[in-house]
Structure 1
Amino acid sequence: MKTNVLPNRLFADHQEPVGDRVNSYFKLDTIDVILKAFTPNELSVIRPCFGKMIDMYHKPAHSSKLAHFLLTWQLKTEKRHELWFIFGDENVTGEKLEVMLRHSKNISSELKVKYAYLLIVDGLLCRKSSGMKIPKDHAEMIRDLCYFLSFPWRQHCLEMTVQCIKSRSTNQLAQPTVAVQGFIHTVQMVLLEAVPAALMTMGEENGSESEEEECVMASTLKLDKLWNLDSSGQLYPL
């Protein structure tokens, strides 16, 4: 399917300047002066030319902040008398999908299912960065659920995760933190499957390894016990 390609943006996505207002010199109250000074019959004389302008007074008030927002969301256009603005087509992130699902009371079951599939794929299995946007091709794929579900997502996730892990240098791994794209939790799952004794290090309380790491699973690993298990060499099956 051929899609129209929009012109480039004036500012890159999420690089728009944070301004507060546009200083304009017109005053919509000018229309109020005319409305109060003219009778309906007198207004009918000027309506053929400026009727739309007169009716504007009863619409939402001018917002300088909104005007600034639109100016910074311009597209680059070549024609002299043409202005294009982007609004309402911002890419959706995994976080936004989570919000949608948390407030899904008025969302159809079919749409909730599609949101859930996208969240599992791009918010969990194939996540590349914090605040990652849902890829456009994935959003297009979800229109056809059968096609979306037939895609080898597990293989795609595995290849992404393994490739990212193997690309990390020893210097990177020696740093206090290291970024890994994909689903590195798979490595932990393999450990727990291959070394059943590691399950003995699990606790029942919710918690986290650090203040920055969120953990909402039913059980957590007690890492001090896991390190002791590793050094003990007692890795026999239960």
Structure 2
Amino acid sequence: MSSRKKRVAKSGGKGALVLIEIAHPEEVVGNQKLPSRLFATDRYPSKRFNLNASLEYLLLVRDVLEGTDEMERLLGSCFGSLFRLPVRRCAFSAKLVHGLLTRQLVTKKMLELWPVFGGDPMRFSLAEFGHVTGLPCGEFEEGYVVDDKARPPKGDYVFWDRLLGAGRRDITIAEVAAMVAGDKEMPPTRKLKLCLIIIVDGVLLATNQEPKPSVKHVKRLEKLDRFLSFQWGRESFWWTISSMIPPAKVIGKCDDPNGAFCRKLRQETKVLVGFPWALQLWAFEAIPGLIARLGGNDEQTLLTYDGEKLPQHTGLGLVDVLHAEHDPKVSGSLIFVGWLCGR
């Protein structure tokens, strides 16, 4: 007799529900062995991560646009869900994220992370990213390329010069933030557009140690409606997952992608790009024991939090992760059987 159970969890949207499948390990594998893992069970390295993104940019945007029509428009856009993230879930736990990355299975699935936690395989993909962030993850417009390293044509800097200042090619997101916070006479529309660049290139798509505005993102701001309707969740996920799974195998350039990725996880530090908080947010929903160890409640959000900086606490540590993984009260985790069926 099947021991599969179902529970209903609330999603980020008001009144929306998400059905989560709960299953025991023996029910999932069906007498089949799981694929090999990057590291042997209980032989995971314990290092740390560096983040390029900063959630405190959201607090700055909240403060500089407070009480304005522009803030109302921002909250009503696809970015509004970011300001409604619970503060207690925003303290980044490097141990938790590192633990999930080192527990992942070696699969042929593209752009999917499959960690094993407490004996159960779990999937983190575009679907889960969209669910926990609330960002749009639909198909890109025809001809759009995410990883476009081509040098932008000079014509693309025309709007850049109007918005950011003529000749300011190396301006950083930190400098843009100082600009919007310090200029009290800035026109509201320009301030909103600069805040949107801060959110996109400083929070969701931070790919450099010192984040800078992207030329193609700034150019998209020429038409604000076009910017707000873009599939930012899909692009943020692409960058996020690219630093969380082994790279593609390229003969002569990357002959052993799994080995190369494992070496990076053994380093003293590893840089995560994109929006790595999404993996942590997903883990809190998928693994009840983790949120129980976190304590507190979700009443206070980034929008209602009274402060310019996030609380200085470490979030979950290694002890908390191990406790949640071996807690006998935890009946299971998120299971997506589509992978087991070859879909």
TM-score range, shorter chain: 0.5 to 0.7
Q: Secondary structure at the match of 1:157?
A: helix
Q: Counterpart in 2 of 1:119?
A: 198
Question: 1:192 Cα shift?
Answer: 0.5
Q: Distance in 2 between matches of 1:165 and 1:217?
A: 26
Q: Distance in 2 between matches of 1:220 and 1:149?
A: 33
| Cα offsets for 1:58-87 (capped at 9, x unmatched) | xxxxxxxxxxxxxxxxxxxxxxxxxxxxx8
Q: Whose helix proportion is higher, 1 or 2? A: 1
Question: 1:118 Cα shift?
Answer: 0.7
Does structure 2 conserve the Cα–Cα contact (< 8 Å) formed by 1:201 and 1:221? no
Q: Secondary structure at the match of 1:169?
A: helix
| Cα offsets for 1:26-55 (capped at 9, x unmatched) | xxxxxxxxxxxxxxxxxxxxxxxxxxxxxx
The 1:108–1:227 alpha-carbon spacing in structure 2 relative to 1, beyond 3 Å, is: farther
Counterpart among 166, 175, 180 of residue 101 in structure 1:
180
Question: 1:130 Cα shift?
Answer: 1.4
Q: Which amino acid aligns with 1:176?
A: E
Q: Which one has a bigger Cα radius of gyration?
A: 1
Q: Distance in 2 between matches of 1:234 and 1:101?
A: 49
Task: Describe how 1:41-190 pairs up with structure 2 within 5 A.
Answer: 88-166=167-245, 167=247, 169-190=261-282
Q: Distance in 1 between matches of 2:206 and 2:331?
A: 35
Identical counterparts, % of pairs: 21
1:216 and 2:310 are equivalent in the alignment? yes
Q: Counterpart in 2 of 1:227?
A: 322
Aligned length: 146
The 1:234–1:175 alpha-carbon spacing in structure 2 relative to 1, beyond 3 Å, is: farther
Structure 2-normalised TM-score? 0.38
The 1:92–1:172 alpha-carbon spacing in structure 2 relative to 1, beyond 3 Å, is: same
Q: Distance in 2 between matches of 1:4 and 1:115?
A: 20
Q: Which amino acid aligns with 1:113?
A: L
Does structure 2 conserve the Cα–Cα contact (< 8 Å) formed by 1:203 and 1:222? no
Task: Name stretches of at least 5 consecutive residues in structure 2 with no aligned partner.
Answer: 1-152, 158-165, 248-259, 297-308, 333-343
Structure 1-normalised TM-score? 0.53
Does structure 2 conserve the Cα–Cα contact (< 8 Å) formed by 1:202 and 1:219? no
Q: Which amino acid aligns with 1:227?
A: L
Q: Counterpart in 2 of 1:22?
A: none
Q: Which amino acid aligns with 1:139?
A: V
- Which structure would you say has the larger RCO, counting Cα contacts within 8 Å and 6 or more residues apart? 2
Question: 1:227 Cα shift?
Answer: 3.0
Question: 1:124 Cα shift?
Answer: 0.8
Question: 1:217 Cα shift?
Answer: 4.5
Question: 1:139 Cα shift?
Answer: 1.1
